[in-house]
A and B are shown apart, each in its own frame.
Chain A
């Protein structure tokens, strides 16, 4: 055991893991967190807490993660490279561990141009690969980047993101291998709609033996409407949505759209459980947290195991 987190234990036991996601409020309103968290409780093994996602200022991921711990839930704290330099990052990692956080997901971060502060300076002192190396060094070598010994090393379970659909496709597996070499214990992918392409990606992953070195959690997002499907296809960077999915959402009509979206989601989960090397799913029900229970139940993933 590296961190002894719920997430780590369930993965180690070989059971299929479910992680969820919670977007912090655009302010200091804790009730938003409590509401979203209560919808996820009992339905997921760990909850990702995003870090100023899309460069929109929200309550910090470390604060929200600490609140989740107070609520008896397990956070997966996301940390992006856009807003902090290595000094702040290592400092926050110490603080996170002290507050009881045991899972950390290292990401590059969306460019600030997308958010509500496009004139901000960006940092990117480290990139996600180097952040992985940093957390691993802190955990295993008990040293900070500058070389000093750590008083109370943070034993984190380290995660990274992978996007099988971003370009260049041939390079994505190599990049995943580099992340594993840098220290990733688990991977969460961008949400998948193109099952065929994802299966091809996993084939390349297995050819390199990566599935035995890292736990891969496949990203899944339920579609609410044909508009949402089209938006994701056209406007969201690194997302691929096959035409059949758009067609299905369209023919469901306005009335049955949500139901069809849930059907597609559950089918996807069932198909993903069959893929060798996929050890769980990362369910991102963006601003639709109340549907998580339904999905997890229909996919036959309840009850969640006790770690």
Chain B
């Protein structure tokens, strides 16, 4: 069986998660190349629509990474994101994609290692879950607009 390389989209807030990603890079920490980072000003910007569309466009997994609870640069943004992620998980469950393919994480700008850890965790989780159900017929062929 050919090994499956998941495509995981990570919505990272500029102030914490994206900075942590930068730091992970500077620290030369290894994390899987499967992660596609999308930088947003705050996780509060994330709309349920983005999360679903990511799956429509071929993501096998998605996560939203924001500041630690209570430390959001824009105060409530990450709490709003948390609720929207919860709603999107329920929708994904209802439509047969699976709520497990979506997750919310929190970290501070200094947590380079945590960023790498989350990236590994999510990639492994999605690898075990297999390709997104919308790719069933394609059997590992790249059928989505996103290039590997």
A–B direct touch in complex (beta carbons closer than 8 A): no
A interface residue numbers (CB < 8 A to B): none
B interface residue numbers (CB < 8 A to A): none
